[in-house]
Chains A and B, each alone.
Chain A
Amino acid sequence: MIQVKNLSKSFKKVDAVTNISFEVKKGVVFGLLGENGAGKTTTLRMLATMLKPTNGTAIVDGIDLLQHPEKVRGLIGILFGGETGLYDRLTARENITYFGLLNGMEKLEIERRIEEISNMLDMNEYLDRRAGKFSKGMKQKVSIARSIIHDPDIMLFDEPTSGLDVTSIRVVHEFIRRLKEQGKTIVFSSHSMNEVEKLCDEVGIIHKGEIVEVATIKELREKYEDMELEDIFVKLVGGKK
């Protein structure tokens, strides 16, 4: 589904991501594990076509993201962690509809989809209230809804649980599992071993802009003789320092 080929990105003279390659098959949950500043966000931003790669490319569902960035954006949904940004003066429904329209959907289709998602995430109660006064958890749900309004086949999550409380983290994890059941392809970045172990099929460990290991959780265990993921991570990353 996603083939990353020698992707590199440098900002002025700093190399943020250097020559990384990996493949994510359809229906797989792929975790990008790395420390802060390792290049996770830059990689995801390139996949989302927000940043132009300095070198290399990626093929998303058969489409080269350099040649048809708009088509690729239509295929993917993206959810960012941390402070969730909504338009405070618009209602939850208007916030979601805006993104549906910008993804080329028809009004009727959007309404149907909102009803579906709203039932799933249990947000009917505040759907028509302005987002400005929502709690963090409510905002989180609206931004989840916003990211999947166009029913993308591929979801990118950038540190989706950073800065969230336990309840909200559960909502996000539950959401990722549900997407997996629906057969969606998921790439998500995290610096939490626990999260990666719990949710991912495959892991790419990224350090200082380079991929140092790509394997399934099972393969990692076998290769490193049942070491804890955290220890494996430290071993791989520490060895490169």
Chain B
Amino acid sequence: MINKYTWIVLKKELTDIFRDKKTLITSILIPILVFPIMAFVIGMGTDKFIDDSSQDISIAIISEEESKLESFIRDHEGINVVAPDNPEEALSELDIKAIIKIPQGVDQQIENDEMPDIEILYDSTSTNSDSARSRVAGIIGEYSQSIVFNRLEELGIDPQVLNPISVSSTPIANQDEDAGLGIMILSMLLPLMLTVWAAVGGIPAATDLGAGEKERQTLEPLLTTRANRLSLLMGKYFAVVIAAIMGTIAALIGFGIAGKINPNFMGTGSGMPLKSAVAVGILCIGLALVFSALELAISFFARSFKEAQTYLSPLTIVVMLPAYLTMYLDGKEIPEYFFHIPLVNTIAVIKESIVLVFNIQHILIVSGWTILYIALALFLTVKMFNKESVMFRS
């Protein structure tokens, strides 16, 4: 099955692939670039968001007289009180983010234990105005709490009676908050990236090596050489597998660069232990072996290059679907049956590895399934390659 002819074919096909700019761009360059670009864009978005929230908020205060409340707001950090000619117009232009209306005699009303009505005007369609509203409401809340404390103290009651329970939350993972967020993004993106590239990375090569060869009419001369069919097929198969693995590695490199550009993208690294990384690597190669065989079979089935492309593009969606559906799956609570569903089982093991779970039983189950998938996919491909009505139709 694998002999010197297999190596001759493999060597030739790899030379051919590496000279093809189109395949190089789609299989290597794009996966390297996609994640850094994503990291850059996401980074720009969050930086802008952080900028906005750390800037002073401009508001206007409408009142008839000086009041303690007004000066409390004015003295508050991060608030910039301005006095535009027409406050409501300024708000609709978003020159100011909110307007506070303080009624007359507010200090007096508070003194008399009446409830003064403070009104905040804001633009509910603007997120910036909305967050200004909640900030201003918070400041007024602070002021009102200080009054409550004063009143309680006057009555000789400890203000602590208002807090019967004290709540404090501490993350148990040994990481700072940023790393936690990074791990979450990593656990969503990494399985998607690894499985999708391992599965579809071979498509351009498979199209060219199967249907492309048919269309170029180089297949028939190839079949009349001394090399037997199976060794020819194996050479082509390994070339597609290598292309798929190269695509996956390229995506991983891109992911690494992305982490350098924007540390939030990956956190401070999940510190996956070597044994998990090896298991994940092997399972991804397994996935590449399964899908390369399927792609080659489909490519040989197609009459032409175009037809092969039409048949193969839905495959990308078939792979993306389980990857997306499991995006929010918690790596620490994966239902047992997930390890028996094709594709989902590989994703499940990757998810576990990211949250530092190393379950040898799960890995063995998924490996067993993967070997079975490879055998089935290869069986199909060999059958297809030996089918005269498929190979010689045009």
Most interface-central of B9, B223, B232 (chain A CB within 10 A):
B223
**Does B217 contact A84, Cβ atoms closer than 8 Å?**
yes
The complex places the Cα of A45 from the Cα of B219 at a distance, in Å, of 13
Interface residue B371 (Cβ < 8 Å from any Cβ of A): no
**Does A11 contact B389, Cβ atoms closer than 8 Å?**
yes
Contacts of B388 in A (CB 8 A): 11, 51-52
The complex places the Cα of A149 from the Cα of B152 at a distance, in Å, of 105
Interface residue B20 (Cβ < 8 Å from any Cβ of A): yes
10 A-B pairs besides A89-B19, A102-B232 with CB distance below 8 A are A49-B224, A50-B223, A78-B220, A83-B217, A85-B216, A85-B220, A85-B221, A86-B218, A98-B8, A146-B221
Interface residue A56 (Cβ < 8 Å from any Cβ of B): no
A-B pairs with the 9 shortest C-beta distances? Answer: A85-B217, A102-B225, A85-B218, A89-B19, A85-B216, A74-B226, A102-B227, A101-B8, A103-B226
Interface residue B197 (Cβ < 8 Å from any Cβ of A): no
**Interface of chain B, helix or strand or loop or mixed?**
helix
The complex places the Cα of A147 from the Cα of B20 at a distance, in Å, of 25
The complex places the Cα of A48 from the Cα of B15 at a distance, in Å, of 28
Binary per-residue interface labels of chain A (96-119) against chain B in the complex, 1 for a CB within 8 Å, 0 otherwise: 001101111000000000000000
Interface residue B5 (Cβ < 8 Å from any Cβ of A): yes
Interface residue B49 (Cβ < 8 Å from any Cβ of A): no
Closest partner residue, chain B, to A78 (CB atom): B224
**Does B218 contact A87, Cβ atoms closer than 8 Å?**
yes
Interface residue A143 (Cβ < 8 Å from any Cβ of B): yes
The complex places the Cα of A86 from the Cα of B232 at a distance, in Å, of 17
Contacts of A80 in B (CB 8 A): 217, 220-221
Most interface-central of B19, B218, B392 (chain A CB within 10 A):
B218
Shortest A49–chain B CB gap in Å is 8
Looking at the complex, which one of B220, B226, B389, B392 makes contact with A102 (CB distance below 8 Å)? Answer: B226
Contacts of A51 in B (CB 8 A): 388, 392
11 pairs, CB–CB < 8 Å, chain A vs chain B? A12-B389, A48-B224, A51-B392, A73-B226, A78-B221, A87-B16, A89-B20, A90-B12, A90-B15, A90-B19, A102-B227
Interface residue A183 (Cβ < 8 Å from any Cβ of B): no
**Does A89 contact B16, Cβ atoms closer than 8 Å?**
yes
Interface residue B148 (Cβ < 8 Å from any Cβ of A): no
Interface residue B272 (Cβ < 8 Å from any Cβ of A): no
Interface residue B318 (Cβ < 8 Å from any Cβ of A): no
Contacts of A94 in B (CB 8 A): 12, 15
